[in-house]
Amino acid sequence: DAGVTQSPTHLIKTRGQHVTLRCSPISGHKSVSWYQQVLGQGPQFIFQYYEKEERGRGNFPDRFSARQFPNYSSELNVNALLLGDSALYLCASTPAGGTGELFFGEGSRLTVL
């Protein structure tokens, strides 16, 4: 079975640009979460979606937005990129009725110049 897949794996943007990151969860998983991992730190929670509805939002500015589609895939959008947005963006999916464990993708590494 395929795991969580993310695209693109690497991308470079300049300040002020916009980026869209994509995620496909494990088949059967209806919840998707996004995390930001800055170099040298642990992942920080950005969003969780379940059945296309936002279930949780971390302490991130409104420049960050996300959505979940009927097939449970998800997009993370970041507007007006700043240098500090450079990070590994991790998507994770969760099975229904689970005990909180997340299954992570390989991540999208964003570099903002």
Query: Using CA atoms, how far apart are residues 107 and 36, in angstroms rounded to an integer?
Result: 9
Burial (CB count <10 Å: 0-12, 13-18, 19+), residue 3:
middle
Is 4 near other proteins (CB under 8 A)? yes
Could you give the CA distance from residue 52 to residue 67 in angstroms, rounded to a whole number?
A: 7
Stretch that binds other proteins, among 11-19, 27-35, 60-68, 70-78 (CB under 8 A): 27-35
Q: Which stretch binds other proteins (CB under 8 A): 17-25, 65-73, 77-85, 96-104?
A: 96-104
Using CB under 8 A as the criterion, which residues of the chain lie in contact with other proteins when the complex forms? Answer: 4, 31, 33, 35, 40-45, 48, 55-56, 58, 90, 92, 94, 96-107
